[in-house]
Structure 1
């Protein structure tokens, strides 16, 4: 039972970290697109 709880905690932590990373990446891409120099 403890292993299952540990696995669930690790999975939840990984999910939260991944969603934060993905959101930050999307914001960076959007910012780069908006501030891209127009030639």
Structure 2
């Protein structure tokens, strides 16, 4: 019975380490995607996520 319990504890520890490793890889991938330079020009979206006003009509209050 003790051997079975020890085996279960070891298996649980191995599975825990594997899960942590997968989670760390997934988080690292998300971080790389979030911090990667963009191919799109900055004129379509501002750096704070809002859409900038058009340059031609920005000064007119008609």
TM-score by length of 1: 0.80
In structure 1, the gaps of 5 or more residues are none
Tell me the number of residue pairs that the alignment of Structure 1 and Structure 2 aligns: 39
Deviation at 1:2? 1.6
- Tell me which of the two structures has the higher relative contact order, counting C-alpha pairs closer than 8 angstroms and 6 or more residues apart: 2
Larger Rg: 2
RMSD of the TM alignment (CA)? 1.0
In structure 2, the gaps of 5 or more residues are 40-62
TM-score by length of 2: 0.56
